[in-house]
Amino acid sequence: MTAEHWSRWRTLAVLLTLFGMLGAVQAGPKVESWQTSGGARVMYVHAPDLPMVDVRVVFDAGSARDGDLPGLARFTSAMLSEGAGDWDADALAARLESRGIELGSSSLRDMAWVSVRSLTDPEVLDVALDTAASVIAQPRFDDAAIERVRQQMQIGLRRSLQSPGKVAQRRFFRTLYADHPYAHPPGGDEASLAAITRADLQAFHRRYFVTTNAVIAIVGDVKRDAAERIAERVTAGLAAGTHAPPLPSVPEVSGGELREQFPSSQTHIYVGQSGMARHDPDYYALYVGNHVLGGSGLVSTLGEEVRNKRGLSYSVYSYFSPMRVNGPFLMVAQTKNDQADDALRVMRDTLKRFVDEGPSERELEEAKQNLIGGFPLRISSNAKIVEYLAMMAFYDYPLDHLDTLPQKIAAVTVEQVRDAFRRRIDSGAAIAVIVGGDAKGHG
């Protein structure tokens, strides 16, 4: 058997193994979808094993909508559980805790959400849904609560600015995205947190917390007709409104290094560039390829070259963060101050070699097996499923996304990975941000 025939046979054997694994992987949960009378898209999975229901209402109201007040979206989200309708913060907390109801709210760059988890016992569920509806549509924005949340966010911000890793991350986003809405941190800055008023919070809520800007995910021991009533109920108090406008394209920013001195014994390195958006045609090739490059921990290419062979970092990894428009591609490392330059050089060299050569057949096969084998764990609980459903609804994924994801991963080839990385990742254009004790100047 020639080397070429052997290679083809081996590739076929691996594909058969992968598809055999797929047959063993439990099919994804059955997803149903509809729209509420107010225009919110709903995704629902019937999960009767536990007498509980998880509901997640997501709005296109992340920090990309902050405007001139960084932190406004997260401030607004934090205020939702600080009093709503007839209940101030203390009464609201007591109402939930006495019945074992879990309610939460938060935001990222693209989205903000309110989540509620409750037993399906009618008396408990009624309280949970009434409370969630008030939290979503009728936050009180009490003055005392505003000042309490402001102080909490300011303390969190100051604490983050004492971490070289957090500082490096903030600098990277600001450098990569320039004047794009993704540039500023979701947690805001000192000036904006001090400036945000009750009127600002109310206006943000009024504009973005509307049904046409919302999606709903429901997972639990409720049948379809009950799920329909839940979706209507939790959004009943919202105006129809209009969807948030499309985000602008990300700017073309490339190359250069930003070095910032920081009183620490370790240096944090962020290297990257614009990556990909949701529904990117290269999504699976880049996603699977990155698992080889730096997404699989110490056994990744970066882990082997930077940490295992040379001992240049405590941790090193890479990832794509796809968002509404292009999120970043990042390589991140933590190292001793006197090893920062060497670590950065090896990271850049490793990326260049990976872009030039791509993964080997064996590396790609192992990555696919790892990703597919771990897939069931990602949807192993109602809480995980409801997060997946909310993401699918928010980014307009098809209902069979969870079913087809393993097959799409299995179908990725070495040629596709090499082609995607060569077209999309320019190792010479990657921005580097280095924050640590021996960093010189401010770049």
pLDDT digits (tens, 9 = 90+) for 174-196: 999 999 999 999 999 999 999 99
pLDDT single digits (tens) 208-240:
999 999 999 999 999 999 999 999 999 999 999
Whole-angstrom distance, CA of residue 423 vs CA of residue 145 = 50
Whole-angstrom distance, CA of residue 101 vs CA of residue 132 = 10
Which of 414, 407, 406 shows the shortest CA–CA distance to 364? 414
Angle 244-246-249 (CA atoms, 0-180°, nearest 5)?
Answer: 145
Average pLDDT of the residues of the chain = 92
Q: What is the pLDDT of residue 361?
A: 97
Looking at 51-195, list the stretches that DSSP marks H as alpha helix, in order from N- to C-terminal side: 72-80, 89-97, 122-137, 143-160, 164-177, 190-195
- From residue 195, alpha-carbon distances to 77, 425, 437 in Å are 17, 39, 33
* Strand pairing class (328-336; 315-320): antiparallel
Structural domains of the chain ordered from first start? 32-234 (3.30.830.10), 257-436 (3.30.830.10)
pTM: predicted TM-score of the whole model, two decimal places: 0.90
Percentage of residues in the chain with pLDDT exceeding 70? 93
Contact 377, 371 (CB under 8 A): no
Averaged pLDDT, 77-82: 97
Whole-angstrom distance, CA of residue 84 vs CA of residue 234 = 13
